[in-house]
């Protein structure tokens, strides 16, 4: 339905006493403006009937002239919300462009009230729509900055949402979708720069726009966007499966080139990818490289991002509906389900998945109504890629760390800031909990680990229920006294008492972990534990392969050799990716009659092996495409 049809339908459903004045398109959502919201909230059926009738997500707003002043509204909020809700002095923000007041609280339930009573009272008495966000239990300037940018960019965002709303809410053409094609633009028979183009005779949608941090060669670092013969203005929508830079790191470059459309992802993904994109700019500037985009490009990306929770169905184009489902990989990670042309074809893009419970997350969701084409990651798709049980993995890590500590050494664990660092933190905290007096060691957190951990406390609903309960009960495992943010010189830590150091990057290609390696490598008392994938050209893979001498760059930019005398060990099972058995189980448990299955996100041999295995087990067509391959799927 277009705007006129939606407005006509709304007039038929909304009770006359509510004073319906106008309807605005906010991207795929519909904002309904009232002068008297009280009758509307007298029955819960009103919002249900409106949502059902318009087949859209409904936002209730009030006209500006009937809203109370910001001062009066703030006073009412303070009178209704108890102090223990944790609403600080600067935690109430007004966004007049959308008629919203945003409240950040440590305990959102106390702001909402029983059955939403407080929200209804604020809306009825002040005529401001209320949105409540959970504050992180670990203070985070980054989260505050990202959320605060909503008010700063509200004018630009309103204009964008109105423009996109007109494009996505149109009268359907009778001809409809005639064909569906996919083009591999990155992460096919490789890991890094994930990017897939899904194209129909009417629309073009890109899933993931990543970059490969393991190379300085531009021809291998970024997706093959040029190969698709696609003008930037022809892209209708971008979808991001999760925040890791090999899936989202190149996204702001599209906006630098002039892209002006929507980006769809989950709320945690929006926040985390923004943090990581700003970090890419910072790191590249520090190392004398030219970043592919600027801070303003990142901010524009945020302004154009539309967030959706798991299982929410939303229109991304007039003919394509999107649903995110839990991928079990990192905070907010998703599998992407596209429902194309009123069910003509259904695609699932797995992103990165873990199909077994982890310490942090529930396993990837396999409940899809219908799937004809599957794109599945194959990071650990080789025939020997079998991971140990989680309890064996955890015990191995803790026992190995204690052996080094008791011998007077330090343990370096290079980790990805998002995902593996929090998984390792929870593992260590589990063994020490209640016995802190018997653990006289510090676990140092360097780089962005503390910031990214704060995001986990801001979105506990995306975590495993046991972790969620502890955060909501003010017993966050991430705030154990064993954890110590790095504040001193790294050399002082390495020359100090035995300790464990968690530091990015996870492959030792740069960042704090690389600095610690230079300081620790030549002492055989120290240990280096790998808990994640190491790409073929990374320093981590070289050490795994037994190299005992490495070339490094010192603080003055000079190249020198260091001897690798420390003990290195790979502790399998911490990866956020599924192993071979789990990948096969994921495909099986989807219970679909697949027409096409394509493997991706893996080294060439592993993608090919996974495709052969899937073909054999499920008696279906499975292929391992290369980058720049294009294929019709429907």
Task: Report which of 305, 297, 273, 232 is spatially closest to residue 28, judged by C-alpha positions.
Answer: 305
Taking 80 as the threshold, does the pLDDT of residue 382 lie above it?
A: yes
- Residue by residue, DSSP assigns 355-381 as -S--SS-PPPP---S--SEEEEE-TT-
| Digit-coded pLDDT (tens) for 488-507 | 899 999 999 999 999 998 88
Phi-psi region of 434 (alpha: psi -120 to 50; beta: other; left: phi over 0): left
Residue 62, H or E segment: strand 58-62
CA atoms in the 13 A half-sphere facing the CB of 86: 16
Please report the sign of the dihedral spanned by the C-alpha atoms of residue 427, residue 433, residue 436, residue 437.
Answer: negative
CB within 8 Å of 607: residues ≥ 6 apart: 188, 189, 378, 381, 599, 600, 601, 624
pLDDT of residue 535: 80
Confidence (pLDDT) at 553: 74
- Dihedral (Cα; 108, 354, 476, 409), 10-degree rounding: -150
- Residue 203 in this model has a pLDDT that exceeds 70: yes
3-state SS, residue 84: helix
For residues 531 and 137, give the distance between their C-alpha atoms in angstroms, rounded to a whole number: 27
| Local confidence band at 216 (pLDDT 50, 70, 90 cut-offs) | low
Question: Measured between alpha carbons, how far is 534 from 585 in angstroms, rounded to an integer?
Answer: 25
pLDDT band at 511 (very low <50, low <70, confident <90, very high): confident
CB atoms near residue 604 (< 10 Å):
13
CA distance 562 to 522: 7
Task: Give pLDDT, residue 549.
Answer: 86
What tokens were used for 562?
């260091």
CA distance 68 to 76: 10
Domains of the chain (ranges plus CATH)? 3-64 (3.30.300.230), 67-158 (3.30.300.20), 179-384+577-632 (3.60.15.10), 390-570 (3.40.50.10890)
The DSSP bridge pattern shows strands 345-349 and 373-377 to be parallel
pLDDT tens-digit map of 391-412: 899 999 999 999 999 999 999 9
- Residues 379, 243: Cα–Cα separation, whole Å: 17
Q: Specify the residue for token string 């990202």.
A: 146
Query: The whole model's pTM is what?
Result: 0.93
- 3-state class of 99 per DSSP? coil
Q: What is the predicted pLDDT for the residue at 437?
A: 83
What is the pLDDT of the chain when averaged over all its residues? 93
pLDDT single digits (tens) 140-183? 888 988 888 989 999 999 999 999 999 998 877 767 899 999 99
In the predicted model, what is the mean pLDDT of residues 434-461? 92
Q: How far apart are CA 352 and CA 333, in angstroms?
A: 8
Query: What tens digit of pLDDT does each residue of 592-632 get?
Result: 999 999 999 999 999 999 999 999 999 998 999 999 999 99
Which residues, including other chains, have CB under 8 Å from residue 554's CB and lie 6 or more apart? 518, 560
Q: What percent of the chain has pLDDT over 90?
A: 77
- CB 574, CB 416: distance < 8 Å: no
32-36, 40-44, 368-372: segment of lowest average pLDDT: 40-44
| Segment 545-585, tens digit of pLDDT | 988 888 777 666 677 888 899 999 999 888 889 999 999 99
* Assigned token pair, 431: 């063994």
CA-to-CA separations, 77 to 67, 105, 116, 412, 458, in angstroms, rounded? 14, 12, 13, 48, 21
Residue 351's H or E segment, with its range, is: none
Ramachandran region, residue 568 (left: φ > 0; alpha: ψ -120 to 50; beta: rest): beta
Residue 557, pLDDT score: 66
Query: Would you call 608 helix, strand, or coil by DSSP?
Result: helix
DSSP-assigned letter for residue 621: -
Nearest CA among 33, 83, 89 for reference residue 58: 33
Q: Measured between alpha carbons, how far is 42 from 38 in angstroms, rounded to an integer?
A: 7
Convert the pLDDT of each residue in 331-381 to its tens digit. Answer: 999 999 999 998 889 999 999 999 998 889 999 999 999 999 999 999 999
Element holding 270 (H helix, E strand): helix 267-286
Residue 9 has a pLDDT of 93
Give pLDDT, residue 303: 95
Q: Which two tokens stand for residue 298?
A: 């990142």
Res 213 pLDDT > 80: no
Assigned token pair, 416: 């990805």
Q: Which residues on neighbouring strands pair with residue 29, listed in sequence order?
A: 26
Q: Any residues with CB less than 8 A from the CB of 500 and at least 6 apart, and which?
A: 401, 405, 410, 411, 413, 428, 441, 442, 443, 444
- pLDDT tens track for 294-336: 999 999 999 999 999 999 999 999 999 999 999 999 999 999 9
Sheet with 20-26: strands ordered across: 20-26, 29-34, 58-62
Instruction: List pLDDT tens digits, range 46-59.
Output: 889 999 999 999 99
**Between 542 and 599, whose confidence is greater?**
599
For range 184-202, the mean pLDDT: 95
Residue 174: the pLDDT is 67
Q: How far apart are CA 185 and CA 223, in angstroms?
A: 5
Give yes or no for a contact between 586 and 352, defined as CB atoms under 8 angstroms apart. Answer: no
């Amino acid at each position: 339905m277009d705007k006129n049809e939606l407005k006509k339908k709304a007039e038929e459903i909304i009770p006359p006493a509510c004073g319906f004045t106008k309807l605005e398109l906010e991207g795929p959502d519909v904002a309904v403006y009232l002068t008297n919201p009280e009758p509307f909230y007298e029955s819960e059926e009103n919002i249900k009937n409106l949502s059902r009738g318009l087949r859209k997500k409904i936002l209730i707003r009030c006209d500006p002239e009937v809203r109370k002043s910001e001062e009066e509204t703030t006073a009412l909020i303070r009178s209704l919300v108890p102090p223990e809700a944790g609403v600080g002095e600067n935690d109430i923000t007004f966004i007049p462009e959308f008629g919203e007041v945003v409240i950040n609280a440590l305990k959102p339930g106390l702001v909402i009230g029983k059955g939403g009573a407080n929200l209804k009272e604020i809306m009825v008495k002040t005529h401001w729509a209320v949105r409540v966000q959970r504050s992180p239990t670990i203070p985070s300037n980054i989260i505050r900055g990202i959320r605060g940018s909503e008010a700063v960019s509200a004018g630009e965002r309103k204009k964008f949402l109105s423009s996109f709303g007109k494009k996505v809410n149109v009268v359907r053409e009778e001809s409809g979708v005639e064909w569906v094609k996919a083009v591999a633009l990155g992460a096919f028979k490789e890991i890094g720069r994930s990017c897939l183009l899904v194209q129909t005779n009417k629309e073009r949608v890109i899933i993931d726009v990543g970059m490969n941090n393991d190379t300085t060669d531009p021809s291998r670092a970024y997706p093959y966007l040029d190969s698709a013969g696609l003008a930037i203005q022809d892209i209708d929508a971008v979808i991001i499966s999760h925040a890791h830079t090999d899936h989202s790191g190149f996204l702001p470059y599209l906006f630098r080139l002039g892209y002006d459309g929507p980006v769809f992802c989950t709320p945690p993904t929006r926040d985390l990818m923004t943090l990581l994109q700003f970090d890419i700019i910072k790191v590249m500037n520090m190392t004398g490289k030219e970043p592919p985009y600027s801070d303003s490009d990142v901010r524009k990306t945020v302004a154009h991002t539309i967030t959706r929770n798991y299982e929410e169905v939303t229109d991304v184009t007039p003919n394509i509906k999107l649903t995110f489902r839990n991928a079990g990989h990192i905070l907010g990670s998703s599998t992407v389900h596209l429902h194309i042309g009123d069910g003509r074809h259904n695609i699932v893009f797995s992103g990165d998945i873990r199909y077994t419970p982890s310490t942090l997350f529930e396993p990837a969701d396999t409940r899809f109504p219908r799937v004809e084409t599957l794109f599945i990651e194959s990071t650990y798709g080789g025939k020997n890629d079998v991971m140990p049980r989680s309890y064996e993995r955890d015990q191995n890590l803790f026992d190995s760390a204690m052996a080094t500590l008791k011998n007077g050494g330090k343990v370096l664990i290079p980790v990805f800031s998002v995902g593996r660092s929090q998984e390792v933190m929870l593992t260590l905290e589990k063994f020490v909990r209640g016995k802190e007096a018997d653990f006289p060691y510090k676990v140092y957190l360097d780089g962005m680990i503390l910031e990214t951990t704060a995001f986990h406390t801001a979105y506990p609903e995306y975590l495993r229920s046991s972790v969620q309960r502890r955060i909501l009960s003010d017993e966050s495992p991430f705030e154990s006294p064993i954890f110590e943010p790095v504040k001193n010189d790294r050399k002082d830590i390495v020359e100090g008492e035995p300790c464990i150091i968690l530091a990015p990057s996870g492959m030792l290609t740069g960042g704090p972990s690389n600095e610690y390696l230079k300081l620790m490598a030549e002492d055989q008392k120290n240990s280096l534990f790998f808990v994640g994938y190491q790409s073929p050209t990374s320093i981590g893979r070289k050490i795994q392969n037994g190299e005992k001498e490495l070339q490094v760059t010192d603080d003055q930019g000079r190249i020198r050799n260091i001897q690798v005398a420390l003990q290195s060990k790979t502790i399998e099972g911490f990866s956020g990716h599924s192993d071979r058995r789990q990948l096969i189980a994921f495909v099986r448990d989807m219970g679909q009659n697949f027409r096409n299955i394509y493997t991706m996100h893996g080294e060439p041999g592993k993608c090919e092996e996974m495709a052969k295995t899937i073909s054999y087990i499920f008696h279906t067509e499975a292929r391992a495409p290369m980058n720049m391959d294009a294929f019709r799927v429907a």
